[in-house]
Amino acid sequence: MSVRRSLVVGTVGLAALLATQSTALATPPGGVPPGQAKKHVEVSADAPLRDLGSAIGLRIGTAVNTGLLGEDPAYTDIVNTQFNSVTPENAMKWESVEPTKGTYTWADADELVKSAQRNGQLVRAHTLVWHSQLPQWLSKDTGATTTFSDQQVKDIVKKHIKDEAGRYKGRVWSWDVVNEAFNDDGTPRQSIFYKAWGNSTDYIADAFRWAHEADPKAELFYNDYNIEYTGPKSIAVYDLVEKLKAQHVPIDGVGFQTHLSTQYGFPNLQETMQKFADLGLDVAETEVDVRTAVEAVDPATDPATYTATPVDGLHQSTQEAYWDQTMKACLFVQRCVSYTVWGVADSNSWIPGVFPGEGAALLYDDALQPKRQYTVVQQDLALAAGAAPRRAGAGGR
């Protein structure tokens, strides 16, 4: 770990630049992590990420595998000491909470929420309306078709949102209300939701209204991938949320998943997030990971020997640069209220199973040791000490 040095908030680094970007912000409905945003707080430059984030009001989160939380001591220790926000990687998805129609299985999600309360963490809840990981009784082909009528789908979606967001009312700070509603070419995804609402994206406004009714203080996000750069999908989402704001639909923010790969150029992330923020919305990086070509064995086929090592130093240093840029993009956008990594360690990342030959995408290696990427992110946060505190708000509503 780097040499320990003490920073007095208000004196160094990115702070001066960031301070000029201060804007008046609303009081957070979901509360703020303990100990954050106090003036003259001393934060060590090698403090845990959550402490460095708290000093500037930035939620530092991770996706959590509820099968490991509380079971794997080293994993659990990292989740609770390094992060002040947690997102259930799968436990709050529809197929997880209602595998049989009308029979709820809340145990894993409940456990995560209780753990967060015990550890002074906020819950970034994920996700209410998504075409993927739907229960089999609702759709057998990732949300393309269903045996229910249009009116039945509408009733089912409303009940699902009311039941799940209602269950966690007041106990989560935000919800990804609608996830991934657009294709990469900017056309609306032809999901069972789109079809049930008469081939229209009007289901999105209804979902936000129902979520708001169920949990009026939760901060409500639209969340998607490949919207980090200017392109048809990002433009389509921008047009959507601009329209929702004009219609006074209770949307508070947009989540940029930020699944990056070193084989592509770094997106104009800061500029894009600022454009959305200028609509009067909070923004967040919600699922950050940076994958690269690795000398790896697929953990699914050979977990014992899994090692995710970048193929060479150039790939490693590019990963570090990308992590640096994801954090700086958030720090330079005052309305970027949370930064969440999509998993703790390379050995529990979704990447190797979906992108064969790629991996090493997270901050900790498969032995749960912090990588250089961790230090890069930590140093950026330390340099931002003293910046005007950011606070998640009600998105202007």
Whether the link from the prior residue into 105 is cis, omega within 30° of 0, is no
Contacts to ligand G3I from residues 27-56, by CB under 6 A: none
Q: In the beta sheet, which residues pair with residue 222? A: 178, 254
Give the residue with the Cβ less far from ligand G3I, 287 or 366.
287
Site for ligand G3I contains 132 (CB under 6 A): yes
Sequence-ordered strand ranges (E) for the chain: 6-8, 42-44, 59-64, 85-88, 122-129, 174-179, 219-224, 253-256, 259-261, 282-295, 309-310, 336-341, 358-359
Q: Tell how strand 282-295 and strand 309-310 pair up.
A: antiparallel
> Which one of 89, 180, 219, 320 is the catalytic residue?
180
CB of 143 to ligand G3I, least distance (A): 11
Site for ligand G3I contains 257 (CB under 6 A): yes
393 in helix, strand or coil?
coil
Residue whose beta carbon is closest to ligand G3I: 350
| Binding characters for ligand G3I, 82-121, by CB under 6 A (x = yes) | -------xx-------------------------------
Site for ligand G3I contains 350 (CB under 6 A): yes
Q: Tell how strand 253-256 and strand 259-261 pair up.
A: unpaired
Q: Which residue has the tokens 């923004």?
A: 283
User: By CB under 6 A, how many residues form the interface with ligand G3I?
Assistant: 9
Q: Is 287 known to be catalytic?
A: yes
CB of 257 to ligand G3I, least distance (A): 5
Site for ligand G3I contains 261 (CB under 6 A): no
Contacts to ligand G3I from residues 184-203, by CB under 6 A: none
- For residues 333 and 22, what is the distance between their CA atoms, to the nearest angstrom? 9
Contacts to ligand G3I from residues 201-230, by CB under 6 A: 225
Q: Is 180 known to be catalytic?
A: yes
- For residues 80 and 83, what is the distance between their CA atoms, to the nearest angstrom? 6
Site for ligand G3I contains 287 (CB under 6 A): yes
What is each CA distance from 141 to 100, 192, 201, 282, in whole angstroms? Answer: 16, 10, 20, 33
CB of 180 to ligand G3I, least distance (A): 7
Site for ligand G3I contains 309 (CB under 6 A): no
CB of 259 to ligand G3I, least distance (A): 7
Sequence-ordered strand ranges (E) for 241-280: 253-256, 259-261
> Which one of 219, 287, 320, 358 is the catalytic residue?
287
Q: What residue type is 298 in one-letter code?
A: D
CB of 87 to ligand G3I, least distance (A): 9
What residue ranges bind ligand G3I (CB under 6 A)? 89-90, 132-133, 179, 225, 257, 287, 350
Residues taking part in catalysis: 180, 287
